[in-house]
Amino acid sequence: MSTADKIFIETCKDILTNGVWDKDYEVRPRWEDGTPAHTIKKFGIVNRYNLQESFPILTLRKTNFTAAADELLWIWQKKSNNVNDLNSHIWDSWADESGSIGKAYGYQLGLKHKYKEGEFDQVDRVIYDLKNNPASRRIMTNIYNFQDLNEMHLYPCAYSMTFNVSGNKLNAILNQRSQDVLAANNWNVVQYSLLVHMMAQVSGLVPGELVHVISDAHIYDRHVPIIEELIERVEHDAPIFEIDKSIDNFYDFTVDSFKFINYEYNPFKTKVPIAV
């Protein structure tokens, strides 16, 4: 069993066994037919992934690594808030006629701020500090900008990364206010594990641990039977992850800079309904 599968199964079982339903409340999300999308949730999920042991990608079903990596690069490398710069349609529901999602995600990372060393956006400041101030306890990003929330088409879910260097290892904490576990749990884990690998490589470090903190980890009512079937599946061993070692500039990575060897996974043809 891969670490990703083990943690995913434990998380889902915890939510289904110990979670709380919100059926007594009015909820914002709706299914495509207009029905309220209720959830069973667990507050304060904390999962740890040792990136030295394996890359945490699910084998219970396939995680679309190419699309996940493309979205990560769209936010962190392109610093874009326009879906026309993205090679998938996962953000289309929140985009306006021009393709913009407002002052959200990549837009916030690309804003420049003044420091005594000069002007940096949030991504470049992280890279600068990892290279020049690795002992700093201030290496972090935050895209939950209250001033701009009214101009965001969707409030950030995964909103903060804190990087910490211990010896030659780069560790990180991903803070997430809300997560649709079926649709996004491993998707986000894969993305931010990849980010740790990228940041470590361009900073002369090795990837250490990703700690994933989720305030509201929830399973939607129509997802429960899918989750129950998924977590009873037979798992495969984790694949071998490879990254192009020749790259030393964060902005030179592409989706083709990464590959998996022996990625075995169970087929998953179920259409997952998405609440918006």
Percent of the chain with pLDDT over 90: 95
Q: Is residue 133 a known part of a binding site?
A: no
> What is the structure's pLDDT at 269?
82
Q: For the segment 8-23, what is each residue's pLDDT rounded down to a tens digit?
A: 999 999 999 999 999 9
Consult the annotation and say whether 92 binds a ligand. Answer: no
Average pLDDT over residues 220-233: 96
Measured distance CA(62)–CA(10) in Å, rounded: 18
With contact defined as beta carbons under 8 Å apart, do 55 and 48 qualify? no
Q: Where are the beta strands (DSSP E) in the chain?
A: 20-21, 39-50, 113-115, 118-120, 140-142, 158-166, 169-180, 206-220, 240-243, 258-261
| Strand 158-166 with 140-142, pairing | antiparallel
- β strands within 37-88, DSSP E: 39-50
Catalytic residue among 16, 90, 154, 157: 157
Query: Is residue 137 a known part of a binding site?
Result: yes
pLDDT confidence of residue 84:
96
Is 157 tagged catalytic? Answer: yes
pLDDT score of 1 more than 80? no
Q: Is residue 166 a known part of a binding site?
A: no
152-111-161 Cα angle (round to 5):
80
pLDDT tens-digit series, residues 138-147: 999 999 999 9
The yes-or-no verdict on residue 4 having pLDDT over 80 is yes
Could you give the domains of the chain? 3-261 (3.30.572.10)
Cα distances from 212 to residues 47, 150, 177, in angstroms, run: 5, 27, 11
User: Positive or negative CA dihedral for 213, 215, 219, 220?
Assistant: negative
Q: What is this structure's pTM?
A: 0.96
**Predicted local distance difference test score (pLDDT) of residue 275:** 87
177 appears as a binding residue in the annotation: yes
CA 217 to centroid of chain Cα atoms: 13
Which tokens go with 208? 């250490």
What is the rounded distance in angstroms from the CA atom of residue 201 to the CA atom of residue 212?
21
Identify the three-state secondary structure at position 259: strand
Cα of 145 vs its chain's centroid, Å: 18
What is the DSSP-derived secondary structure letter of residue 149? G
